[in-house]
Structure 1
């Protein structure tokens, strides 16, 4: 990863972090109960990033997903926070492996997709959720786009040839 890609990657990850922090600060008063899940999950995730051992990525993402679920359960308008947290954890396994290793196994998308689709009464509930406080997730999506774009061979303003 060259300097330009690294700076775009860091900018994207920063936007993701700020978006998630704002999202949780807007919706949740107490972050203490989730801290254990986040700390242990982050240790697993850090060990994965250091060693590229796929077996460490799985518990890392699932524990961070459970930590997110403990925060999400306090939010109004979300009936199944555990499904959302675990579903997001499974999807994160696929996404992080794809970004970090440039390839990924498809299996995490099956439980992740099922959990996420069944967690929402697709349509009205999801839109209501986004408009009543889920808007900081737009920062997360923009950050993900920037992070994924940082791995492309072409950067902004570079020719395809």
Structure 2
């Protein structure tokens, strides 16, 4: 005879709950002790786990009642033992995490979606454990980081899901901000981290293929800006006294970027840009006291050169 274990389980559960409620209403049970509820919930949890085992460890849906009621039993046990913190509710979310983890490992191709709610449950579990002992910055960082890790696993499960890798990268970078905030003044350097984070994907694209030579331009620009920003935040470059050196460093970094295109990829136009930027960088160092006038003058000279080339007569062939 085939027995529908699901109907049997929920039928027994409803009958048992009804009997307890009826006994309470009729006055046979004046006050259900916490110990009784712990035993009842633990028994339901055990029954759900046994049903999962009897399904040859494939019907992970049984782990929902097993995890939820097991978590409730643990919550009541902690509460009755005077655990006075947010951690008292953490077992409930651990119980909810278990079935999603089982779903993923049962069929990682079809059940990849379980990583997302599983990551949320893991965050809630860890938050309740840590919220009374660590600062809010670390909780925020953990939230963003776990979301990033969750989508990273979604990508690793199927390398065609490039969107998941992008989401993981974005949340991973954003998680750095609250981490830095926990160290006071160090948080000011998040701008540097953000600029380098933008540069990194372009470096990866650049080094994967010589045909992606264009990627070194945004990578070099972002790296140069991050260096200038770092020195400015650290006080090495002060806008009032050494702003001209920062401008020269910016030009030098851009010159190096185009020099790479010149030497490594033989781009003739990059040679012109690299030389012009290099000369401007060196000149900016010598005229550091007038750096605020340097850029407008450079624009005027550049415009004059273009005006000259437009009006001059072409050479006879």
Greater share of helix residues, 1 or 2? 2
Normalised to the residue count of structure 1, the TM-score between the two structures is: 0.47
CA radius of gyration, larger in? 2
